Amino acid sequence: MALTARPRLTKDPIYEGTRIPSPIPTVLEVDPAVKDTDDILTVNFGPNHPSTHGVLRLIVDLDGEVVVGIHAKVGYVHTGFEKNMEQKSWWKAITYAPRIDYLAYQNNELVFVLAIEKLLGLEIPPKAAWMRMLLSELNRIHSHLVWLATAALELGAISMFWYAFREREMIMDLSEMVAGYRMHTRYFQTGGLAEDIPAGFYPECRKFTESMPKAIEDYDALLRKNEIWEERTIGLGLLNRGDAIALGQTGPVLRASGVDWDLRRDNPYLLYDRTNFKVPVYPGGDTYGRYRVRIEEMQASVEIIEQCLDRLERMEDEPWIADDRKVVLPPREELHTSMESLIHHFKIVTEGYRVPEGEVYVAVESPRGELGCYVVSDGGPRPWRVKFRAPSFAALEGTATMVQGAYIADLIAIVGSLDTVMGEVDR
């Protein structure tokens, strides 16, 4: 697979210094000299608009077609996930996590489960770790595909949508095969996996990894050499290295601003330190760079999935969940013969297990960037506090910096390039 990056067609060199508005970093205010003249038109964009990927409201000030002021309003899908999770026992709260970011559900599940395991000091068997990585990477491809499909659709490339959703369907089928659900699988359990990996999963997954690189080349062929796409992405939505870090940007947005940073490599969790993959970095800080980073991340994810499959295929009879009866449900067949197993099962299901007192912050590289989970336990069977650090939340803070001087039509491309999921922003 030889996808070489075309030399970047520079429109403007990336800016020096900072463009973060002052004093409010997230609100771009109209120059007071022109504010009350008739040249400025204030437009309400959203909250219900197909290109906002959820319910995002932008109040945009226009001078002709040029954006001179922007104010993002969020909170339209605030559903109180964090409050709800405080009311549930630890193992029931896992069900909430995937629903926060409904495109990166497995990464959300993973970060919460990792936080519980960190508090418990629980080691998970290697088979579970490799499978978690495999599913997280499948999920990353899934999320990027949905992004690619909708972002291209917004710029008029309708056929991308059908192609990307064709491969997405394969991932959904794999999810269904493993967990029984296409989305929100809740397949990660404290201590490992909820079920053993089903027979026939590996060959199906191999089929996917064999066909996916070709599909990625096809997407790239449709867009990369497409002049309209290049015109509407290159040199737009600029964010330089310093501003990206100052605004807490992570993931593809940070890497497209020239920062070589990926938690899978730099703060490894699970067994990512035993895999080889390339971290794509683009220096342009523009919409095009974010698109390139995501395309190449999909290729890297396919490579990681293949490495996971190589390991997993040799782990047929190994355990898929830790053997800790205080936390992990006993095997189903033991319930008919063992009194102790029945008691453990009953206790875990009715009361839940206790998690030692303490506070932890765990971060994983979700498709959108650093997904963090801050968890506080008081030693009881329910979390005292759960706080998700959503990468989309930080990404949206950058809009006021990125859209300066853009056309209203490009605003949609720029906000789309951040790949925000409003469920995660508002929680």
Residues interacting with other proteins, by CB under 8 A? 20, 23-27, 74-75, 78, 80, 82-83, 86-87, 89, 118-119, 245-250, 259, 261, 263, 266-267, 350-352, 354, 357-361, 363, 370, 372, 374, 376, 378-382, 384-385, 387, 389, 393-394, 396-397, 426-427
Strand partners for 407: 66
Kindly tell me which of 248 and 319 has the beta carbon lying closer to other proteins: 248
Q: Name residue 295's amino acid.
A: I
Kindly tell me which of 69 and 372 has the beta carbon lying closer to other proteins: 372
Kindly tell me which of 243 and 297 has the beta carbon lying closer to other proteins: 243
Q: How far is the CB of 305 from other proteins (least distance, A)?
A: 24
Q: How many residues appear in the chain? A: 427
Largest CA distance in the chain: 82
Q: Can you state the angle between helices 126-154 and 158-179, rounded to 10 degrees? A: 160
Kindly tell me which of 225 and 326 has the beta carbon lying closer to other proteins: 326
Helices within 59-104 (DSSP H only) = 81-86, 90-93, 97-100
Kindly tell me which of 396 and 411 has the beta carbon lying closer to other proteins: 396
Kindly tell me which of 233 and 250 has the beta carbon lying closer to other proteins: 250
Q: How far is the CB of 26 from other proteins (least distance, A)?
A: 5
Q: How far is the CB of 20 from other proteins (least distance, A)?
A: 5
Strand partners for 374: 361, 387
Q: Which two tokens stand for residue 258?
A: 């020239």
Q: Can you state the angle between helices 105-120 and 126-154, rounded to 10 degrees? A: 150
Q: What is the DSSP letter of 407?
A: B
Pairing of strands 66-73, 188-189: unpaired
SS3 371: strand
Q: Which two tokens stand for residue 173?
A: 């089928």
Instruction: In whole angstroms, give the CA distance from residue 107 to residue 105.
Output: 6
Kindly tell me which of 337 and 350 has the beta carbon lying closer to other proteins: 350
251, 263 in Cβ contact below 8 A? no
Phi-psi group of 363: left, alpha or beta (phi > 0 → left; psi -120 to 50 → alpha; rest → beta): beta
Instruction: In whole angstroms, give the CA distance from residue 287 to residue 231.
Output: 11
Q: How far is the CB of 14 from other proteins (least distance, A)?
A: 18
Q: How far is the CB of 197 from other proteins (least distance, A)?
A: 30
Q: How far is the CB of 217 from other proteins (least distance, A)?
A: 32
Q: How far is the CB of 249 from other proteins (least distance, A)?
A: 8
86, HSE (Cβ side, Cα atoms, 13 Å): 12
Q: How far is the CB of 321 from other proteins (least distance, A)?
A: 22
368, 143 in Cβ contact below 8 A? yes
Kindly tell me which of 169 and 357 has the beta carbon lying closer to other proteins: 357
Kindly tell me which of 62 and 72 has the beta carbon lying closer to other proteins: 72
Q: How far is the CB of 209 from other proteins (least distance, A)?
A: 29
